[in-house]
Chain A
Amino acid sequence: MKTLPSPLDRPASIPVLRRLLAAEALTSQEVEAMERQVRRDLPWKIWLDRGLLSLGIALILAGIGYFFAHNWDHLTDDDKLGMAGGAVLASLLGATWVGFDRFAGKLLLLAACALVGVYIAVFGQIYQTGADSYLLFTNWAFLIFPWVALSRFMPLWMFWMVLLNLALGFYWPVSSFLEGFGSWDIFRHETISLLLLNGVALLLREVAGRWPGAWFDRGWSTLFLMTAAIVPASVEMIDEILHTWDSEAHVGGARLVGVVYAAIVLGLGFYHSRVRYSLPALAITTLNTCTVLTFLAIRLLDFDQPRFDAGIWLFAGLIVLGIFGGGVFFLRTQRLAHQHP
């Protein structure tokens, strides 16, 4: 039978010692003596070492940036392109030299991917390509994809997803498909396409995470992708709810979106409570649901009506209390149900 480790076997920390002092489990003399010991063991050397190294490198890089800013007008186009391309190459060679499996190598690869964007921007400035913003991000994402795929580095994958999101976000406002459409329709296309893009990415990440040779086991990327998927969905739902205030709007579309949104939320809730328990994921889903329900309550109470009285405020407060209270109750129940005895 497994036994949980005693809290006394965890590393001592000053906040814990002070909590024990507040609970009168330790005296102030004891805490002061213990704090001195804890403070002596803190990784001062590593912190100071890394802090000075980071600050030194940051200042030198900023200095180099200022140097080029001073001389930018005197540089030829070839020099500018050469420098931007050289920076990409230098980062890539550095990553290869350090090794892609080491953290410094992965960071250098991330820097190389970011510098590709600088190269494209410089290229666009010199040759005045006049390309739309979405093309810059699409090309950027396309060019770095091989490095991203080979990197086995989740932050780089998330960086790539951000590029795709930006490309999609900038695409719809200039899309020829939506010529003549109003801003509300464009916004609807943006939210739905972002939901689909991030939702598919989330699904792929969850499937890939179950493969035997999966190299990522940290859950933060799931939360990142889930937030990226559910926030556009919630924004779209809220937008639909508020749009029904417009007398010319059709309520049917809002109902359909509502059904789809409810299905998404219930699916995520079921998956993260029954299949693969994750309290942070449930919290994100709950917060989004509570926000949407609050907007729905405000819409149904109709604050916009001319005969507006004090009772509506009181009623709205009670409803909000009920919505968020219910959400927190659900989360606490889940936490208790999955807590070790």
Chain B
Amino acid sequence: MKTLQELCLKPETGERFSPERLRQIEETLIEDHHSDMPWYLKVIVGIGAWLASCFFLGFAFALIGWEDKHQVTFGCIGVVLLVVAVVVGRQKWGVFAGQCALAVSLAGQAMIYFGFIDEQNRPLGTAMEYALGLAALLYVAYPGFMSRLMTCFAALQVTLLWIYTGDDGEPFSTFRVESDLTRLVLLYWAVHLVGICYCFLRPRHSVLLAPLGYAFIISLAAWQIENLFNVWTRATVISYSPVWVEWTFFHGRFIMLAVAFFVIAVWAAGGIPVLREKPPLFLGLALALAVLVWLGSGGVLLALIFLLLGFSLQNRAILGLGLLLFPVFVTYYYYNLNLDLLAKAGVLIGSGLVMLLLRAGLARSVFAGPKEVP
């Protein structure tokens, strides 16, 4: 691995860094190191701050009582709490105050939902509008990483609920028309994938949009896990004609995952120039992805995207999520194969052998080291 010094002195652009700039970078790194806190200290700070905030909120609830007649008062207190949280959160009063502000901000948002949403009139639609509005507002007003991540995640999940449930009449009782639902689901899935690529692949986007990117990642992982537990399963069957349109709609999410994986793989390898340089390699990757789509292993592809993204960005959080989800989705896939135990044993051993053959093939061709010059 190259050091920062080496990267600065032999940059790809060809322009060497001046000693002043090197000193400036060094000072920034030292400052960064000193202000950084070990993760376990942050955990202790977080536990204390959140616990204390719970008691303070208990105090607020106990002051006005729990009756529904105070619903709007709750909302107003929520607005006040949110403003206080934003003001405190913007100050540099240390991690402890920051965590308290975050907890108060989240409680304030919950009180706003409870206080101002009319349960009889489009509750989900209104909740979604509030969630998106609050997420956008707080993204600008409250520049804390966790605040941005949590409000964006909440907004994404409330929108998902609105997409699946609809909001035409009585809450949670009517469902959206199937064809509309399919289109909305595919569109929303695409928004997640494009969002992840947009927020993480370019460094200048990542500086501002990393929390939103994480929210997309967690929301997508949660959505896929919700699918495992049949949270969003519908009883009706969608029928399209001709058959290939139906197949495409049914496998639409897997296809998008495969495309996203391919895009990220090309980017990680070095971009379009590398794609032009080694077309057979990427053709092989595309074929492998097509096989995975054909086999219907959607969740596995999602975990693979997280693994690839986490590894190529040296991001432990995303990599860890990928490592956690990969065995879950692989196990789920094989467990749900409609085969008896003996056939499953054959499929598993066959898949294992394919992996080992693939490894041997890659070692001989793609990863074979350059021949030594005698």
Chain A residues within 8 Å of B, Cβ to Cβ: 6-23, 25-26, 28-42, 44-45, 47-49, 52-53, 55-67, 69-70, 279-280, 283, 286-287, 290, 294, 309-311, 313-314, 316-318, 320-321, 323-325, 327-328, 331-332, 335
Smallest CB gap from B271: residue in A: A36
CB pair B52–A324 under 8 Å, yes or no, is: yes
**Can you list, as one digit per residue, whether each of B1-19 has a CB less than 8 Å from chain A (1) or not (0)?**
1111111100111000000
Give the distance in Å from the alpha carbon of A314 to the alpha carbon of B57 in the complex: 9
CB pair B12–A47 under 8 Å, yes or no, is: no
Does B55 belong to the interface (CB within 8 Å)?
yes
**A56 and B353 in contact, given A8-B29, A49-B363 (Cβ under 8 angstroms):** yes
Chain B residues within 8 Å of A, Cβ to Cβ: 1-8, 11-13, 22, 24-26, 28-30, 32-33, 38, 40-41, 43-45, 47-49, 51-56, 58-59, 62-63, 96, 100, 202-204, 206-207, 268, 270, 311-315, 330, 334, 340-342, 344-356, 358-359, 362-363, 367
**A283 and B52 in contact, given A33-B12, A55-B355, A66-B344 (Cβ under 8 angstroms):** no
**A48 and B268 in contact, given A21-B204, A60-B348 (Cβ under 8 angstroms):** no
Residue numbers in A under 8 Å from B206 (CB-CB): 18
Residue numbers in B under 8 Å from A59 (CB-CB): 348-349, 351-352, 355
Instruction: Report the minimum CB–CB distance from A172 to chain B (whole Å).
Output: 30
10 tightest Cβ-Cβ pairs between the two chains A and B: A324-B48, A63-B348, A317-B55, A59-B352, A56-B355, A60-B352, A63-B349, A313-B59, A70-B341, A310-B62
Give the distance in Å from the alpha carbon of A321 to the alpha carbon of B44 in the complex: 12
Among A36, A53, A57, A279, which residue has its beta carbon within 8 angstroms of that of B12? A36
**A8 and B8 in contact, given A20-B25, A290-B48 (Cβ under 8 angstroms):** yes
Instruction: Report the minimum CB–CB distance from B188 to chain A (whole Å).
Output: 28
Residue numbers in B under 8 Å from A34 (CB-CB): 7, 11-12
Among B12, B38, B351, which residue has its beta carbon within 8 angstroms of that of A37? B12
CB pair A39–B268 under 8 Å, yes or no, is: yes
Give the distance in Å from the alpha carbon of A59 to the alpha carbon of B28 in the complex: 47
**A8 and B5 in contact, given A25-B24, A320-B55, A324-B44 (Cβ under 8 angstroms):** yes
Smallest CB gap from A26: residue in B: B25
**A64 and B314 in contact, given A9-B3, A37-B2, A324-B47 (Cβ under 8 angstroms):** no
Give the distance in Å from the alpha carbon of A17 to the alpha carbon of B268 in the complex: 16
Q: Count CB-based A-B contacts (< 8 Å).
A: 231
CB pair A15–B314 under 8 Å, yes or no, is: yes
Smallest CB gap from A12: residue in B: B4
CB pair B58–A313 under 8 Å, yes or no, is: yes
Give the distance in Å from the alpha carbon of A7 to the alpha carbon of B363 in the complex: 36
Residue numbers in A under 8 Å from B28 (CB-CB): 20, 23, 25
Residue numbers in B under 8 Å from A48 (CB-CB): 359, 362, 367
CB pair A58–B358 under 8 Å, yes or no, is: no
Residue numbers in B under 8 Å from A20 (CB-CB): 25, 28-29
CB pair A56–B352 under 8 Å, yes or no, is: yes
CB pair A6–B62 under 8 Å, yes or no, is: no
CB pair A8–B11 under 8 Å, yes or no, is: no
Smallest CB gap from A308: residue in B: B62
**A328 and B359 in contact, given A15-B314, A18-B207 (Cβ under 8 angstroms):** no
CB pair B51–A294 under 8 Å, yes or no, is: yes
CB pair A28–B270 under 8 Å, yes or no, is: no
CB pair A7–B11 under 8 Å, yes or no, is: no
**A39 and B312 in contact, given A60-B353, A309-B62 (Cβ under 8 angstroms):** yes
Smallest CB gap from B304: residue in A: A51
Residue numbers in B under 8 Å from A332 (CB-CB): 41
CB pair B342–A67 under 8 Å, yes or no, is: yes
Residue numbers in A under 8 Å from B8 (CB-CB): 8
Among A18, A42, A294, which residue has its beta carbon within 8 angstroms of that of B203? A18
Give the distance in Å from the alpha carbon of A49 to the alpha carbon of B369 in the complex: 14
Given contacts A290-B48, A310-B63, A313-B56, 16 further A-B contacts (CB under 8 A): A8-B5, A8-B25, A12-B4, A12-B7, A17-B203, A20-B25, A31-B204, A36-B12, A38-B2, A48-B362, A64-B349, A69-B341, A317-B56, A317-B59, A328-B45, A332-B41
CB pair A23–B32 under 8 Å, yes or no, is: yes
Residue numbers in A under 8 Å from B353 (CB-CB): 56, 60
Instruction: Report the minimum CB–CB distance from B84 to chain A (whole Å).
Output: 14
CB pair A8–B59 under 8 Å, yes or no, is: no
Residue numbers in A under 8 Å from B315 (CB-CB): 14-15
CB pair A327–B44 under 8 Å, yes or no, is: yes
Give the distance in Å from the alpha carbon of A22 to the alpha carbon of B100 in the complex: 25
Give the distance in Å from the alpha carbon of A63 to the alpha carbon of B3 in the complex: 45
Instruction: Report the minimum CB–CB distance from A291 to chain B (whole Å).
Output: 8
CB pair A13–B314 under 8 Å, yes or no, is: yes
CB pair B342–A320 under 8 Å, yes or no, is: no
Instruction: Report the minimum CB–CB distance from A12 to chain B (whole Å).
Output: 5
CB pair B55–A35 under 8 Å, yes or no, is: no
Instruction: Report the minimum CB–CB distance from B277 to chain A (whole Å).
Output: 13
CB pair B348–A11 under 8 Å, yes or no, is: no
CB pair A313–B62 under 8 Å, yes or no, is: yes
Residue numbers in B under 8 Å from A57 (CB-CB): 352, 356
Residue numbers in B under 8 Å from A294 (CB-CB): 51
Give the distance in Å from the alpha carbon of A48 to the alpha carbon of B69 in the complex: 61
